[in-house]
Amino acid sequence: MSLESLVSTYGVPLFLGCGIEGESVAIMGGALVHRHVLPFFPVLLAIGSGAWIADTLFFWLGRRFRSHPFVQRQLAGSRIAALLGKVRSQPGRFAASFRFIPGMRILVPLALAQTDISYRRYGAITAVSSAIWALFYILVGHLVGAVLARVLGHIHHIPVIVWGGGMAATLSLLLAVHHLRRSQKRG
C-alpha cells in the first residue's frame, strides 16, 4: 500500500476522530504507527490538526453565539460558574491546558470565548497545546501497541486495530454524551 493510500485511508478518520472524540483515536493512531502501518509525522499532523481545529471551532462558536441560550445554559451550572471565574482570571493558562483535562474539551473553549482573549492568542496557544497533546497520545498508543503485540502476538489484520479503536472511540463518545446529559439534569 502506498503512502498516499495509507494517509487517505486512515489519515482523514484520524483527523476527524481527534476532532470529535480525542484520546482513544490518538492512541489508535499511535498503535498504527507502532505497527508501521502509518508513518509517524503524517499521523502527528492529522491528530494534532484535528484536535486544534475542533478546539478553534468550539471557541469560535462560543464567541459567535455567546448570548445564545444554548451557550448560556452550558455555562450556567454552579460548577461551571466557578470554572468560568478561574478561566477569566487566567485565560492563557486554561487555553494551554484544557485539552489535557478529560471532559473539558467543549466547555473550556466556550468559557474562554466569554473572556477577552483574542482569536490570535487563543489559536497560537492551542496550536502548541494540540501538538504536544497529539505527540503524547501517539507515544501512549505506540506503547499500547507494543504491549498488545507482546500479549496477543502480532495482529496481522489492521482492520482489527481500526475497528477496535473505532469501537472504543464510539463508546467514549456515548459515555461523554451520557455524562453531559446527567450533569445537565443535575445542574
Q: Give the mean pLDDT of 117-145.
A: 91
pLDDT at 120: 94
Question: Is a pLDDT exceeding 60 seen at residue 178?
Answer: yes
Q: How confident is the model at residue 136 (pLDDT cuts 50, 70, 90)?
A: very high
Residue 22 falls in which region: left (phi positive, over 0), alpha (psi -120 to 50) or beta: left
Where are the domains positioned within the chain?
3-186
Q: 108-117 pLDDT, tens per residue?
A: 888 898 888 9
Q: Is pTM beyond 0.85 here?
A: no
Range from 14-23, 43-52, 156-165 carrying the lowest mean pLDDT: 156-165
Predicted confidence (pLDDT) per residue in 138-154, tens digit: 898 888 877 777 776 66
Mean residue pLDDT of the chain comes to: 78
pLDDT on residue 88:
84
Q: For residue 31, name the pLDDT band (cuts at 50, 70, 90).
A: confident
pLDDT tier at 3, thresholds 50, 70, 90? very low
At residue 1, does pLDDT exceed 90?
Answer: no
pLDDT at position 49: 87
The CA distance from 32 to 48, in Å, is 16
Mean pLDDT of 166-173: 68
Q: Which spans in 21-157 are helix H?
A: 23-34, 40-64, 69-74, 78-89, 91-97, 107-112, 119-152
| 79-120 pLDDT per residue, tens | 677 777 888 888 999 899 988 887 778 788 888 988 889 999
In this prediction, residue 5 carries a pLDDT of 59
- Interhelix angle 23-34/119-152, nearest 10 degrees: 50
